[in-house]
Structure 1
Amino acid sequence: YAAQDLRWVSLLPGAVGVALLVPAVLGLLPRGTYRAVRGLPSVVLLRGIAAGSFIAAESFVPLMLVTQRGLSPTLAGLSLAAGGATWAAGSWLQSRPRLEPHRERLMALGMVLVAAAITTAPSVLIDAVPAWTVAVAWGFGCFGMGLVISSTSVLLLKLSAPEEAGSNSAALQISDGLSNVVLLSVGGAAFAALGGGTVSHAATQATGSHPAAFAAVFLPMAGVALVGAWVATRLRAR
């Protein structure tokens, strides 16, 4: 509600929401998660950072291509289709036994690829940049996600005692889902605050003139992904 009603008075329900959310989340995630403590807490944190930053950015890619570059919804959606294959390729690569000793480095590389893809996507706001640039960038970003997401599940079970595997797996999914919701809502609020929600549609072609609204979503999410690259260096306990 606070994100949808952008007034000063909306800070009150926003603060109440945070006050209710923080203690609940701290009780559901491993101790030290938001301090990026080495080992299991950083694995859980990285899952949220990777999923939240990528999904929050990806949610705005088709809208940006339709409203800013005049693509049809079908073509805008197809620009993300190749990412499914590269995501699968990344998942397959991280499963190779000979790469097991290098898993943490692969995950850091994956987050760098995610950050680069998110940073590159809004370049199509410049008319001189081909629209297919997004499809290429997102293919690399999905490859990075394939390296990271599957690896977090593997590392979580590796670092968990048998009796803790269930609760820790639940914490991993909570981090994933919570980060998606929080970062997407923050990005949506920034998008709406800069006029992104006022884009008009013609009878045959969507038009708009709010590139700053899209930049306000993509660039912060790229920064979040870069934080994930640092967290990936803290996955192995001392």
Structure 2
Amino acid sequence: LRRADLPAPDADPELSARGGLSPLLAALMVAVGAASLQIAGQRFDAWSLAWLAAAVLLLGFGLPTLLPRGYRLLGTGLAANVNTRLLITGAFFGAETFLTLMLTRAEGLELTTAGLALTIGSIGWTVGSWLQSRPWLMLRRDQIVSVGGVATAAGLSLVATAAWFPGSLLWAVVAGWVIGGLGMGLQMSSTNLVVMELSPAAELGANTSSLQVGEALGSSLVAGLAGTIFAALIVVSDDETRLGVAFGPVFTAMAVVAVLGLVASLRIGPVVNHSLDNISTSR
């Protein structure tokens, strides 16, 4: 076949709108930037500033390509949805990173018992995932995301309260973890559905990927923040008293991050809940 004499294609408008970098290069920059930020948090010397500067530059140049078109830090719609997923998921998994350690070192539980507490928390996640799809839940999809944010923030606040009083409020840790899991079950599926509802068909795949990037980045950065706080407060790792004192600030910081995620969810804007269609069609 003879090749048609076609004009050379213009630059990809999608890349221009998303930062101008190839997705592969942008992903590499973000990965290295996230790692640099974690290294900066683990060091307490002049080099930490250099790692921090490198992280800011890499994330600043790499992220726009991986985030939804027109993303703004304080934006609405898809931008707010990504921020919500990043912050709430990061807070929950950042807390999970230290939960077992707190249960064994501050609460005095055996490792098996501490693992059982984590498993009980997964019940809340399962219930939340089931609940968000019920047709009788008369809420918009963005409202379900916000309710999930409230539950996660409340659950982590309970855990944080118990962390300040080691050995005294084990029931609050378990209850808080179940409530936090309930919130995660509500918001995880719902943020996916928000992307599907707000994205043009041609951008659905890219925006779904952006949501996953936000989740992964949030889990990495917020867990790194928790580790930095913990490392700054612990000088001798086998000092049980200092360990008990350190858990309070760590879990309080995770609760604050979850509250920021809740605030971000309020900026998503109205999003229809198609689970309610089953009610209208059955009448």
Unaligned 5+ segments in structure 1 are 202-206
2:184 matched to 1:151? no
Report the Cα offset of residue 35 of structure 1: 2.4
User: How far apart, in 2, do the equivalents of 1:91 and 1:229 lie?
Assistant: 18
Deviation at 1:99, TM superposition (A): 3.0
Does structure 2 conserve the Cα–Cα contact (< 8 Å) formed by 1:50 and 1:228?
Answer: yes
| Contact 2:162–2:172 (8 Å) recurs in 1 | yes
**Structure 1 segment 126-205 matched on structure 2, within 5 A:** 126-127=165-166, 129-195=168-234, 198-200=236-238
Amino acid at match of 1:91: S
CA RMSD of aligned residues (A): 2.0
Match of 2:25 in 1: none
Structure with greater Cα Rg: 2
Residue 209 of structure 1 aligns with an amino acid whose one-letter code is: R
Q: Which moved more, 1:38-47 or 1:172-181?
A: 38-47
Question: Aligned pair in 2 of structure 1 residues 87, 215: CA closer, same or farther (>3 Å)?
Answer: same
Distance 2:144 2:48 in 1: 42
Structure 2 counterpart of 1:226, from 253, 259, 268: 259
Q: State the TM-score, normalizing by the size of structure 1.
A: 0.89
Q: Closer, same or farther in 2 for the Cα pair 1:55/1:33, shift >3 Å?
A: farther
Q: Give the corresponding residue for 2:124.
A: 86
Which residue number corresponds to residue 46 of structure 1?
Answer: 84
Gaps of 5+ in 2: 1-38, 272-283
Residue correspondence of structure 1 range 209-224 to structure 2 within 5 A: 209-224=242-257
Corresponding pairs, count:
232
Cα offset, 1:199, TM superposition: 2.6
Q: Secondary structure at the match of 1:97?
A: coil
Give the CA deviation at 1:106.
2.4
Q: Distance in 1 between matches of 2:185 and 2:256?
A: 19
C-alpha distance in structure 2 between counterparts of 1:193 and 1:31, whole Å: 38
TM-score, normalised to structure 2, is 0.76
Aligned identity (percent) is 35
Is the contact made by 1:67 and 1:199 (CA closer than 8 Å) also made in structure 2? no
Report how far residue 31 of structure 1 moved. Answer: 4.3
Residue 160 of structure 1 and its aligned partner are, at CA, apart by 1.0
Alpha-carbon offset, residue 56 of structure 1: 0.3
CA distance in 2 between partners of 1:13 and 1:65 (Å) = 33
Which whole-Å deviations, capped at 9, do the CAs of 1:27-64 have from their partners, x for residues lacking one?
A: 21124545232211111111111110110011111101
Bigger relative CO (Cα 8 Å, ≥ 6 apart):
1
